[in-house]
Each structure stands twice: as C-alpha cells, then as structure tokens.
Structure 1
Amino acid sequence: MVQPDQPRYSNQSEHRDKTFKQQVHKLHQLTVYGRWLFVGILWLTIGLLSLWGLREEIALWQQYFTWVAVRYGLYYNPIPTLGLAICIGMTLGVLVWQSRNILWGISSQEKRRLEQQVQRIRQQGPSHPLWKWVCQ
C-alpha cells in the first residue's frame, strides 16, 4: 500500500538531488574560473617579465625575423624562455582540459571529486571559504 507521505518524500529527494547537482556545477564553474584566473595571473607576472627580458631579441625579430634568430634568442636567454614556457604550457593545459570537458563531458573521476568536495563544503558549513559561492 502506498502511503501519502511517500510521493512528497521522493519530491524532496529529487529537490535535494537537483540542488546537489547545481552545487556541483557551481563548484565546477568556480574551478574553471580559478584555472583561467591563475593563467591570467601567470601571464601578467611571469609572462610580462619574460617578455621584458626578451625585449632586445623581440626588437631584432621585428626587424629581421628568422626562425634561427628566434631559436638563438630563446637559447641564450634561458630564464625568460622558461617563464614563457610555463605560461604557454599552463595556457595549453587549461585549454585542453576545458575542451575535453566541453566535448566529452566531465569524467566520472572528476565528478566524484567534485561531489566529495561539495559534501565537505556542506559539512563544514558557512565557515568554509567556498560556502557562499557554492551553497548559496
């Protein structure tokens, strides 16, 4: 026999599931924004300093561009080259990660990690730094 409280309970459960999924989605969005913010900060700090370190080579490349000039300019300026490599590598890494998530969806392992993180945020409550962005 079906009790009258049972449909109401399933609606509450569905509402909780929907809320939980929305919170997981918000946390994923925060992760995406955080990664792009990190890349932007990298470019504004390390990237600009690296380009400043290569300013003489860049001026030469503007006048007489050859791939050999680029190769030697980067080879003889290892620290700015490393800085640019870090910036380019992180940018490409975030691009590939986000493209994979867009094309094939979030992997089950990543979903599980996000769900566990949302549960930890819920358990800690308003004292968690991400509470107001994820749960409200």
Structure 2
Amino acid sequence: MLYVISKGSVEQYQDGQDSLIYLVTSVDQISSKRLDFVFTDGNCASEITEYFDNLESLERVIDWPLMESRHWHNTAEDPDRMRRRMAEFLVHREVPWHCLLGIATMTSDKEEEVNRILEENDKPTYVVCRRDWYY
C-alpha cells in the first residue's frame, strides 16, 4: 500500500508518504500482554491467504528472506511473491501505548513534529527518521 501511496495512486489519500508514521512494536510485546492477534501468510485480500493465531507457525509460514528483500515483484519462477510479501500481523481492537517500542518517520522534519506532539502530551517515546522504510 505504501508503494501505491508513493505513486499517488490512492484516490482517497493524496497526502503522500511524509505524513505517514510507523508505530513500532514487536510480536513479543503483543504476545506478552496477551493481546488477541492473527497473522497471515500473504495479502488479506487474496482468497488463498491463510490466517494463523499460533506463534509457533510464524517462522514456518512467513517468507523471511522475501520480507528482507528490497525487490519483491512476482517473477516467472515465483509468481506469488507480491502476495506473500504483503503478509500482515493484526492486533484486535488496539495496541496499548505502553506496547510501542518507538515511532519511525520519513523525514527529520516529521521526526521533530512528532517529538513536539509527544512532549506536549507527556508521551515520551523513541522517535527516529527511517527514510529507507519508505519509497
């Protein structure tokens, strides 16, 4: 979705990537707080995507080398790469603030803005600019 946003191809959203921030947590944080979750082996919109709620399946069903790859388009040898790359980890209802490990932004200007907002609301959190997480 972020790639599509970067190309301006989401009709309902035209504010670009700079306005978007990542709220970062971890599987360990979510599971240790006993929050309800599911994860998928690919894009949720695909009929062949499977859903899991057992963390023992995580290593087996997620294509970790593909997740770390910079290029993940489908190929003749592997026509299912894009679907698998869009695997999701979904938490039911909400992720409590105390489960956040930090926030990532695209630009240092956005990082400063987020830090200012957090300070004004007494919510100290680690904020970092991660340009390479964006297109």
Scaled by the length of structure 1, the TM-score of the pair is 0.23
The structure showing larger relative contact order (alpha-carbon pairs under 8 Å, at least 6 residues apart) is 1
Greater helix share, structure number: 1
Larger Rg: 1
Greater strand share, structure number: 2
Scaled by the length of structure 2, the TM-score of the pair is 0.23
